Structure 1
Amino acid sequence: MKALVKKHAEPGLWLTEVPEPTIGPDEVLIKVLRTGICGTDLHIRKWDGWAQQTIRTPMTIGHEFVGEVVEIGSSVAEVNVGDLVSGEGHLVCGKCRNCLAGRRHLCRNTVGLGVNRDGAFAEYVSLPASNVWVHRVPVDLDVAAIFDPFGNAVHTALSFPLVGEDVLVTGAGPIGIMAAAVAKHAGARHVMITDVSPYRLDLARKVGVSLALDVSQHTIEEGQQKLGLREGFDVGLEMSGRPEALRSMIDNLTHGGKIAMLGLPAEEFAINWAKVVTSMITIKGIYGREMFETWYAMSVLLEGGLDLSPVITGRYPAEEFEAAFDEAAGGRCGKIILDWSNV
Structure 2
Amino acid sequence: MKIKILKTSICGTDVHIYNWNQWAQDTIPIGLTAGHEYVGEIVEIGENVEGFHIGEKVSGEGHIVCGKCRNCLAGQPHLCRNTQGVGVNRNGAFAEYLVIPATNVWKCSPTIPEELYSCFDPFGNAVHTALSFNMVGEDVLITGAGPIGIMAAAISRHVGARHVVITDMNEYRLDLARKMGATRAVNIGKETLKDVMAELHMKEGFDVGLEMSGNEAGFNDMVNNMKNGGKIALLGLQKSDARIDWTKVIFNGLTLKGIYGREMWETWYKMDTMLQSGLDISKIITHRFDIRDYEKGFAIMNSGNSGKVVLDWTSLYENRGF
TM-score band by shorter chain is over 0.9
- Matched residue, 2:105: 132
CA distance in 2, matches of 1:184, 1:224: 17
CA distance in 2, matches of 1:181, 1:267: 30
CA distance in 2, matches of 1:116, 1:282: 32
- Matched residue, 2:270: 297
User: Residue by residue, what CA displacement relative to the aligned partner does 1:183-219 show, whole Å, maximum 9, x if unpaired?
Assistant: 0101001100111011101000111111111101001
CA distance in 2, matches of 1:92, 1:79: 20
Structure 1 residue 162 corresponds to structure 2 residue 135:
yes
Structure 1 residue 237 corresponds to structure 2 residue 210:
yes
- Matched residue, 1:172: 145
The partner residue of 2:66 within 93, 99, 102 is 93
Deviation at 1:134, TM superposition (A): 0.6
The partner residue of 1:220 within 169, 188, 193 is 193
Deviation at 1:137, TM superposition (A): 3.9
- Matched residue, 2:319: none
CA distance in 2, matches of 1:181, 1:100: 33
Letter in 1 for 2:93: A
Structure 1 residue 284 corresponds to structure 2 residue 243:
no
CA distance in 1, matches of 2:239, 2:250: 25
User: Residue by residue, what CA displacement relative to the aligned partner does 1:287-318 show, whole Å, maximum 9, x if unpaired?
Assistant: 10000100000001100111111111000000
- Matched residue, 1:317: 290
Q: Show the 5 A alignment for 1:131-150.
A: 131-150=104-123
User: Residue by residue, what CA displacement relative to the aligned partner does 1:49-69 show, whole Å, maximum 9, x if unpaired?
Assistant: 111111111111100000111
The partner residue of 1:261 within 234, 254, 258 is 234
CA distance in 1, matches of 2:195, 2:234: 23
Deviation at 1:266, TM superposition (A): 3.5
> How many residues are aligned here?
316
What TM-score does the superposition give when structure 1 sets the normalisation length?
0.91
CA distance in 1, matches of 2:305, 2:182: 19
CA distance in 2, matches of 1:238, 1:178: 13
- Matched residue, 1:204: 177
Deviation at 1:274, TM superposition (A): 1.1
Letter in 1 for 2:121: D
Structure 1 residue 195 corresponds to structure 2 residue 168:
yes
CA-atom RMSD in angstroms: 0.8
Structure 2: gaps spanning 5 or more residues: 317-322
CA distance in 1, matches of 2:23, 2:51: 37
Deviation at 1:257, TM superposition (A): 0.1
CA distance in 1, matches of 2:151, 2:86: 22
Letter in 1 for 2:219: L
CA distance in 2, matches of 1:274, 1:324: 44
Larger deviation, residues 235-244 vs 131-140: 131-140
Deviation at 1:267, TM superposition (A): 3.6
The partner residue of 1:105 within 36, 60, 78 is 78
- Matched residue, 1:5: none
What TM-score does the superposition give when structure 2 sets the normalisation length?
0.97
* Runs of 4 or more above 6 Å deviation: none
3-state SS in 2 of match to 1:320:
helix
- Matched residue, 1:336: 309
Structure 1: gaps spanning 5 or more residues: 1-27
Among all aligned residue pairs of Structure 1 and Structure 2, give the percentage whose two residues are the same amino acid. 56
The partner residue of 1:80 within 53, 65, 73 is 53
Structure 1 residue 246 corresponds to structure 2 residue 246:
no
Letter in 1 for 2:308: K
CA distance in 2, matches of 1:189, 1:100: 38
